[in-house]
Structure 1
């Protein structure tokens, strides 16, 4: 069975489902804000949901909290403080807890960033996506270059630890455009960059009206050029799309990738929790629509499902193989409770195809494995 001790990391994800306008590439559970946000009602619902789940946590401390969305920065500092104070009264915080809040450059001002910091947020993640007006317009963002720069400057004043989201592989984008965006972002000395390729997801506007994207060869060249620049600035790639300065990786996302436990609260949030008594690993999710979530009767009806051995193997690999340096082989059994012998034939096959490094102590993709990561992951289906 999995190693269920206080050493098994536990994170909390808090979903704020509203946004000003749905982006055409977004497949997250987000809903355009039609009227004033029901902040107080939503805060109360979040804390009531935590009360429902306390018996699952086994008195473990939180190593991280992440406010995602939607656009969490639409909430006031007062509301964020009320949420964090309520959580702290119910669950222990690790002494070095990381508390991240996602923000949209079009929804912030200097006072609001300071309010978030005072509320207890110690890491900000800004959804910039691009620093070129034509690209921002194409992506349906509500901010322009000027407001993006202003938001970065404000974030830098309020937070020592902040991430910038940037995208590449955009329609009509050139390698020069990619380097231009990255260079401007790096000039502000962020501690972390989430730099990822635009992908077309089902249930999005772009899926129904697909733009013309750059050819794969050009996208590969963009990636190579961008990674070279990031290395020059001391950024280490530790996951497919995550780059950080030394010792400033995102704790919350690393816990996902290392198959730690996480409790998700809020409309549409997902959870994966390991039971200390049985060793069973369960997943469950909340109702998706904010209106339903605010209805206590609809909110309380959730059905935990035990994750099968087959799914545990695949989901562990789906996450762990995204890490540039991989994970120790011992982590597989610690997190899943499954003997490594169960997947040994697949590991050996992947090594023979030069997709995994030949190291009995590590599960780590080779350079070829990183380039053909989907093929590698599919071997564990």
Structure 2
């Protein structure tokens, strides 16, 4: 495939053109690859996903992804990838042959760290033992399996295509395929869900011995079926009971909460997601993918790609839909909206290292947040209090200018 480079203008936000200190060291670099197709669109899903046709355009999409990556290479010359994440949609709909061609093409363009983490999202309804053995042989070394629930009535309410038995089998098949590092994605606060229902799901997940659990509350998002036809969700008191009891159960079994909805066994947090939350860099390729790249002169640029698969695959259209340099006035919020999701926050020194801004630029918002009991009074770290974690939006408002 041949395609002209994007001619999208650089959009400056706020006082983006004001001088900012050069970055002493560039942050780790990751790659996000978006595969936008799934078997069926779930009623709660607001991601850029589209129902797959019987035959996926694997070859054309892989070529487009590599051509998309080629256009971003000038900004990451000489750097190496610390992680790769295949997200979607359902990336496991793609064959091992297609993903193999893609990974080979990526490695020919950017060096891989010796201990690179490569994660593939998969759903139980797409598990095939031979296919996942082949994925593991490609170097994919981590899975994220979209379970959501093990209870049939809850799965039906969520529009999922698998049943509880298939979900259990998927975890076993992952291990048999050679994956000793995998995440289970589980929701709570589901339609008509009781405390006992939620804890039963969590106990079943824990029994499967994943190294990581993403356990988060169902929310109703705009532009979804659930937003327009909302189901009956548990009362606030029940939601609070589920949250408290679930966190205690996870801690009892050795899963430490390190982010608002992420729990991991020792040494097993998701490296790719930690990079997001600590304001690391990432290239985003694929339909609707977002990226964020730092430059030695202090510029930090966010990019986003053409959203619809048919447009992304159209040689007459640009891969890049837009880009924006972050302004000095935006930097506190941009950095903290990720860092403060981490239960232990980040070291204060990371702010000037990753943004080129001084710690003094946070002083006013920091003082207000500390006085409100939302931010811990801890000079060497930026970390939310327990209350701040619960009211993260209120905390972040302190840093808006």
Distance 1:198 1:169 in 2: 6
Structure 1: gaps of 5 or more residues: none
2:140 match: 121
C-alpha deviation, 1:302, in angstroms: 4.1
Match of 1:55 among 74, 96, 110: 74
* Deviation digits for residues 268-322 of structure 1 (CA, Å, limit 9, x no counterpart): 001111122x321111111111111111331345443211122221111110110
**8 Å CA contact 1:282, 1:307 repeated in 2:** yes
Alignment of 1:151 with 2:162, yes or no, is: no
Distance 1:358 1:285 in 2: 36
Distance 2:171 2:325 in 1: 43
1:368 match: 387
1:96 match: 115
Distance 1:323 1:50 in 2: 30
Distance 1:274 1:171 in 2: 42
C-alpha deviation, 1:188, in angstroms: 1.2
TM-score by length of 2: 0.92
Aligned-partner SS, 2:31: strand
**8 Å CA contact 2:304, 2:320 repeated in 1:** no
2:371 match: 352
Distance 2:214 2:142 in 1: 14
Alignment of 1:229 with 2:249, yes or no, is: yes
Distance 1:76 1:181 in 2: 30
Alignment of 1:137 with 2:152, yes or no, is: no
**8 Å CA contact 2:303, 2:320 repeated in 1:** no
Distance 1:235 1:294 in 2: 42
1:252 match: 272
**8 Å CA contact 1:47, 1:87 repeated in 2:** yes
1:200 match: 220
**8 Å CA contact 2:118, 2:139 repeated in 1:** yes
Q: Larger RCO: Structure 1 or Structure 2 (Cα < 8 Å, ≥ 6 residues apart)?
A: 2
Distance 2:283 2:134 in 1: 25
Distance 2:212 2:201 in 1: 15
Match of 1:219 among 239, 242, 257: 239
1:184 match: 204
**8 Å CA contact 2:23, 2:295 repeated in 1:** no
2:56 match: 37
Q: What stretches of structure 1 move > 6 A for 4+ residues in a row? A: none
Aligned-partner SS, 1:253: helix
Larger CA deviation: 298-307 vs 248-257: 298-307
Q: Normalized per residue, which structure has more helix?
A: 1
Alignment of 1:166 with 2:186, yes or no, is: yes
TM-score by length of 1: 0.97
Aligned-partner SS, 2:82: strand
Q: How many residues align?
A: 379
Distance 2:120 2:157 in 1: 25
Distance 2:229 2:393 in 1: 25
**8 Å CA contact 1:9, 1:62 repeated in 2:** yes
Larger CA deviation: 152-161 vs 18-27: 152-161
Distance 1:295 1:4 in 2: 40
Structure 2: gaps of 5 or more residues: 1-20
Change (3 A) 1:286 1:4: farther
2:342 match: 323
**8 Å CA contact 1:2, 1:334 repeated in 2:** no
Change (3 A) 1:2 1:189: farther
2:258 match: 238
* Deviation digits for residues 348-374 of structure 1 (CA, Å, limit 9, x no counterpart): 111111111111001101111112222
